[in-house]
Amino acid sequence: MLRDPRPDTSRTTERPLSGLRFDNRYVRELPADAESGLRRRQVSGALFSRIEPTPVRAPRLLAHSPEVATLLGLTPDDIASPDFASVFGGNQLIEGMQPYAANYGGHQFGHWAGQLGDGRAISLGEVVNAAGERWELQLKGAGPTPYSRTADGRAVLRSSIREFLCSEAMHHLGVPTTRALSLVGTGEDVVRDMFYDGRARPEPGAVVCRVAPSFLRFGHFELPASRGDLAVLNRLIDFTIRRDFADIAAQGEVADEGLRARWFAEVCERTARMIAHWMRVGFVHGVMNTDNMSILGLTIDYGPYGWIDNFDADWTPNTTDAEGRRYRYGHQPQIAHWNLTRLANALLPVFSSEAPLVEGLERYAAAYDAAEREHVAAKLGLLACGDRDLDLEYELYGLMQESETDMTVFFRSLSDVNPAAPGLAPLAHAFYDPALRDRQAPRFEAWLARYGARVREDGSDPVVRRRGMNAANPRYVLRNYLAQQAIEQAEAGDTGEIERLLGIMRRPYDDQPGNERYAGLRPDWARQKAGCSMLSCSS
């Protein structure tokens, strides 16, 4: 029988984690679902349903991010307390929490999917820290909600480890992202069919506490627009500008069309900068549906993601997308624009004309072009990036794709090339197939000759140039096979590799003596291994 999620005061206490100060504007200022309970349903005229996490058998803290804990005002004693695992495993509420599941829709793989909502994510509330920053705490895998449809609302350990590690790894890479506070094992199994091939099996369950200033998505705006509910749409727009875009809100009345246009343009520009960072570090999101696009321009919802190993602009890690490759690496900038166009269509009914929205989309293109040129210049060690430098980069990508060149290793090693006498030797270890490398060597040598001439033309200081390149080209990224090794060890009861990866990814641009194996090529055994190459949305 489904549990009635009406508030249970026996689960609420004011003692643990007393440093967390809640100010829950989302539930205070936006319309709530009139119905309570877990019945799966279409929810109209409301942006959330009040719901509590479903308790688990044996919550146990497996890992946490000390940086995020400090950000929220939590102390080491808080983390060590049994209450911490209880609260962030979903078994206990503390004073000030007002949990809910959000209501939104979205376009999935190019098609309108209607109402989606938080099917297994439950927000506990918004914390305001000592610096005045607002952080929403959200449990993923916390049990069923009215938006769970036929699912159980839970998450398995493997996907939870990937989300926990990637959230923090992306932050330290300098990519706009949601964060992760904790990873809690539930002591319960969850049955999943990992590749949708009829081989479902029980797996250990877990809950991740995700942290962000806001988890609002494009789909939050699409759903009321699709229903013609302009009252809710207007309230949500004005709320979002007031709470999450304070600089814009200070410029005038939030209902003013000009101010709303500036807000949409800012969303477009933030999205452009985020995507440009993805491309810089070789990250592939895997499932860029509009319900997975943050209105703040943050990377959100880490599912079947991956990093480019051997460079392939057509690669996607998502098995669901293996045939169409809609969300492949090289297509991500175009998909972001497509998604923003869907958002613009949702906002159109509250604008007097489409002109401000078209201008915002043009701002996306301009912002992406500027960010891409900035990143290309940094990756190649140039003072600035002109059109011919973009051509140089694109030619390099073509060579890398034809010769199975590792993206991360190649670009990190490029700073070792002497521009006065450029040669392939410093880059020889970046290739997966030595025979293929040798066949392509003359073309690479020709490219390097042009590259060396371009660097010499700049005349930049070699030490400064190398430092800048190493600050743009990471030594360490969270390759799928590294995460999979941590997953397998954790499933066997050893969480030490999670902590090691968390520590290594904390300094992704630094050379870390003793950790060289984490910076090498993907091993051959991982090329086709489940979890190391392709992944599914099953989690």
Which residues are designated catalytic? 291
Give the HSE-up count for residue 156: Cα atoms under 13 Å, Cβ half-sphere.
Answer: 22
Distance CA 253, CA 248 (A): 10
Distance CA 120, CA 309 (A): 31
* Tokens standing for residue 272: 């452009």
Distance CA 307, CA 153 (A): 27
Distance CA 163, CA 160 (A): 5
Is 235 exposed, middle or buried, given 0-12, 13-18 or 19+ CB atoms closer than 10 A? middle
Taking the CA atoms of residue 229, residue 232, residue 233 and residue 234 in that order, the dihedral angle to the nearest 10 degrees is: 120
- DSSP-derived secondary structure for 120-156: SEEEEEEEE-TTS-EEEEEEET----TT-TTS-S-EE
Whole-number CA gyration radius for the chain: 24
Which phi and psi (to 5°) does residue 61 adopt?
A: -70, 125
> Do residues 389 and 296 make contact, with C-beta atoms less than 8 angstroms apart?
no
Longest dimension (CA), the chain: 73
Strands 12-13 and 93-94: parallel
Sign of the C-alpha dihedral computed for residues 216, 221, 226 and 231 taken in this order: positive
Distance CA 159, CA 141 (A): 10
Distance CA 267, CA 289 (A): 16
Distance CA 151, CA 539 (A): 11
Distance CA 506, CA 215 (A): 24
Question: How close are the terminal C-alpha atoms of the chain, in Å?
Answer: 23
DSSP annotation of 299 reads B
